[in-house]
Amino acid sequence: MAAIDMLEQAMNEVSAGKRIAYLGPEVSALSGGGAPTSPAALCAIIEAQVRAPRRASGNLWSVAQYVESRKFRDTLDTLVRDAFAPAAACANPVHDWLARVRPPMVVDTWYDDGLLRAFERVRDWGLVQGVSRNGEWIDIFTRAYDSAGTEVGEASPDWKTLLYKPHGLARPDASFLISDSDYVEVLTEIDIQRPIPEEVQRRRTGRPLLFLGCRFDDQMLRTFARQIGKRSAEGHVAVMPGPLTRMEARFLDELGITWLDLPVAALSEMLTVPEG
């Protein structure tokens, strides 16, 4: 089967609630605008404001840790939120499509709010996002919100769609994981699944993942994908253009992921074809 046909089949399974879309920053890039669309781009924006030591330079998590340690967390939060302040230049076909088909769950691993804005036009959904423990005095990994933006105790099994942003959300009323210290407790506990909400675990069961616009050239990103996909179904598919790094190829092989050597733009073109 041709790669584009396999992609169409996987998308149909997402639409039918049989597969979970797992979005990376390249999906957010389809919105255009001036917000960063990769860890490297976000890192460059931060380093343009705060000069990081050579040992950290180019690594988003390490640069963020340097800023947090030397300039305080408020400075880091402001830099990241300002980076994501520019408005989208156009509608995002993937976000809009997901809001139309309303699958049981979407995992969105980038910091922008594009997916939430697409879902604002529909009802009966909720958000679970990862939160930084910086400044927190309670044992917390995530917060949950209903579609009106009201914080609730936990994700509801009655929500038609659960939007899961494991790394958080970079806007003024939200929190996000970005520094090494943000991730240290999460990564310590993630193997036993404690940072992953029970409703997320329930909805992933029996459903393979469709990775869209992700790269797995960083150990932390691979760890999150591996643990979020734990106990889901076999048959994952990843859409990303080659060449793959050695570690990406090893990761896809380890999880039995079918690799479709296609750009995310191929998905965009598929979704913007007039209906009928």
Query: Residues 6 or more apart from 198 whose CB is under 8 A from it?
Result: 154, 155
What are the pLDDT digits (tens) for 216-240?
Answer: 999 999 999 999 999 999 999 999 9
Sequence-distant (6+) residues with CB within 8 A of 167 are 109, 110, 111, 130, 176, 177, 178, 224
State the pLDDT at residue 276: 43
| Region of poorest pLDDT, from 96-105, 107-116, 232-241, 266-275 | 266-275
Please write the tens of the pLDDT for every residue from 127-141.
999 999 886 656 789
Percentage of residues in the chain having pLDDT higher than 90? 89
Rounded mean pLDDT of 175-192? 93
Average pLDDT of 247-262? 97
pLDDT recorded at residue 135: 67
pLDDT at 176 over 60: yes
Determine what percent of the chain is predicted with pLDDT higher than 70: 97
What pairing do the DSSP bridges indicate for beta strands 105-108 and 161-165? parallel
> What is the Cα–Cα distance from 30 to 118, expressed in whole angstroms?
13
pLDDT tens digits, 80-107: 999 999 999 999 999 999 999 999 999 9
- Mind listing the pLDDT tens digit for each residue in 19-45? 999 999 999 999 999 999 999 999 999
Classify the C-alpha dihedral 51-79-84-183 as positive or negative.
Answer: positive
